[in-house]
Structure 1
Amino acid sequence: MKTLALIFSLILTTAFCQAQDDTETYSITVKIDNALNDEGSMLIGLHSEDTFMKGQGLENIKSAIVDGKVEVTFDDLVPGTYAIMVFHDANDNGKMDFDATGMPLESYGMSNNPMLYGPPSFTDAKFILENDDLELLIRF
């Protein structure tokens, strides 16, 4: 009986491990082609609803700007709902700078390129990653 239980446990463990390995992952390539200049760097964050507008994303990439353009790729992502936030950190201080009234001093953009007159929401920028790699063009 113990041998039968052990064999059954091994079969279930093997099946579970294989099921975990079969999870497809995808990539998201983010392109920006209209940076105002090549000063500083571009900070790109991949966000979930829980991290959006609350600091660091699930993954973050810092990239140089060449001829006003940037292209980065987030790899090995499981299907889900995400948003991308980007800002041009012109002075390379690692944070978004604001004037005395709270208006951003540095260019920014997000997935879906919404035109907003206030703070962005996750709903404005969200997209679904499923069944294929994505390429997003983000405009400032």
Structure 2
Amino acid sequence: MFRQGALLLATTVLFACNESTPVSNATHTLTLEVATSQTKGDVYVELYQGETSIETRWLNPDALRQPVVFSDIKQGEYAIVVYQDLDGNHELTMSGPIPQEPIGYSNNPRLMGPPSFALVSFAVTKDSTQKITLLDYRS
């Protein structure tokens, strides 16, 4: 089983190649919409600014009926990782390199391994919305 901390460390290492330099002190609202076919299992959301994790949240799946809102977001490059904890252990369960729980990233890449920051990053220069569809790699 792959521990959540190891996932976050691996994701952070992948993102470490990117530098994010805010160009202004202005802040924005980032809205996240998450689509999942599962009705059970808390949802873990992590927002990165460059290589730095700046916010994490555990959400009940019912909370996903409403968008997730991040306020006071500075201009810069961001990425989001989301997974649904179907077995309730608050860790992303893996079978070898394959996630055994639904997972998704900003920009919704279809993956054959951990993503690069360049693949999942997006610029925040104004209020914006990201839509992430959780993929179940078990099927």
Once superposed, what is the RMSD of the aligned Cα atoms?
A: 2.0
Q: TM-score, normalised by structure 2?
A: 0.72
Is 1:106 matched up with 2:101? yes
Change (3 A) 1:70 1:88: farther
2-structure distance, mates of 1:60, 1:28: 14
Identity %: 29
- Structure 1: stretches of 5+ with no match in the other structure: 1-21, 52-56
Q: Which amino acid aligns with 1:59?
A: E
1-structure distance, mates of 2:132, 2:76: 20
Match of 1:26 among 25, 28, 33: 28
Is 1:138 matched up with 2:132? yes
- Equivalence for 2:89: 93
2-structure distance, mates of 1:81, 1:93: 31
2-structure distance, mates of 1:69, 1:92: 20
Q: Note the alpha carbon deviations across 1:15-74, whole angstroms, 9 max, x for none.
A: xxxxxxx932111111012x13221211111013324xxxxx210121111297462111
| Secondary structure class of the residue paired with 1:123 | helix
2-structure distance, mates of 1:103, 1:125: 18
1-structure distance, mates of 2:49, 2:107: 15
- Structure 2: stretches of 5+ with no match in the other structure: 1-23, 135-139
| Secondary structure class of the residue paired with 1:66 | helix
Note if contact 2:25-2:75 (Cα within 8 Å) is conserved in structure 1. Answer: no
- Map 1:65-104 to 2 at 5 A: 65-66=61-62, 69=65, 71-99=67-95, 101-104=96-99
Q: Which amino acid aligns with 2:29?
A: S
Name the structure where strand makes up a greater proportion of residues.
Answer: 2
Q: TM-score, normalised by structure 1?
A: 0.71
Moved over 3 A (4+): 67-70
Q: Which amino acid aligns with 2:114?
A: P
Task: Give the CA deviation at 1:139.
Answer: 1.0
2-structure distance, mates of 1:67, 1:77: 21
Change (3 A) 1:103 1:70: farther
